[in-house]
Structure 1
Amino acid sequence: MPAQSQLSAADLRPHWLICAAMLLTVLGYNLVCHLWASELQIDLDEAQRVLIRSVLYGLAILLFPFTKLLRHILLRLNQTMPGPKTARQRYLSTIIITQALIELVSLSGLAMFILGDGFNTLYIFSVMGVLGIFLHKPNPGEYLAIAAALSMENR
Structure 2
Amino acid sequence: MGNPVESEPLKSDLTLHWIIVGMMLMMLTTYVVICHTVGAQLQQPLPEAQRILIRTVLYAVAIVTFPLTNLIRHIQLRLNQTMPRPQTQSGPVALARSRYLTTVIVSMSLVEVVGILGLVMFILGDGFNTLYIFTGLSALGMFLYRPKTDEYLEIINAIAAQKHE
Q: Smaller-chain TM-score range?
A: over 0.9
Structure 1 counterpart of 2:69: 67
Corresponding residue SS for 1:94: helix
Structure 2 counterpart of 1:150: 159
Structure 1: stretches of 5+ with no match in the other structure = none
1:95 aligns with 2:97: no
| Superposed displacement of residue 122, structure 1 | 0.2
Q: What is the root-mean-square deviation of aligned Cα atoms in Å?
A: 1.6
Are the equivalent residues in 2 in contact too, given 1:2–1:144 (CA < 8 A)? Answer: no
Structure 2: stretches of 5+ with no match in the other structure = 87-93
Corresponding residue SS for 1:42: coil
Distance 1:139 1:4 in 2: 16
Distance 1:5 1:41 in 2: 53
Q: Which of 23, 26, 43 is residue 24 of structure 1 equivalent to? A: 26
Corresponding residue SS for 2:13: coil
Structure 2 counterpart of 1:42: 44
Are the equivalent residues in 2 in contact too, given 1:2–1:148 (CA < 8 A)? Answer: no
% identical aligned pairs:
50
Distance 1:129 1:14 in 2: 20
* Change beyond 3 A, Cα 1:89–1:3: farther
TM-score by length of 2: 0.89
1:82 aligns with 2:84: yes
Q: How many residues align?
A: 155
| Superposed displacement of residue 83, structure 1 | 3.9
TM-score by length of 1: 0.95
Distance 1:73 1:3 in 2: 29
Distance 1:95 1:107 in 2: 18
- The amino acid across from 1:90 in the alignment is R
Structure 1 counterpart of 2:147: 138
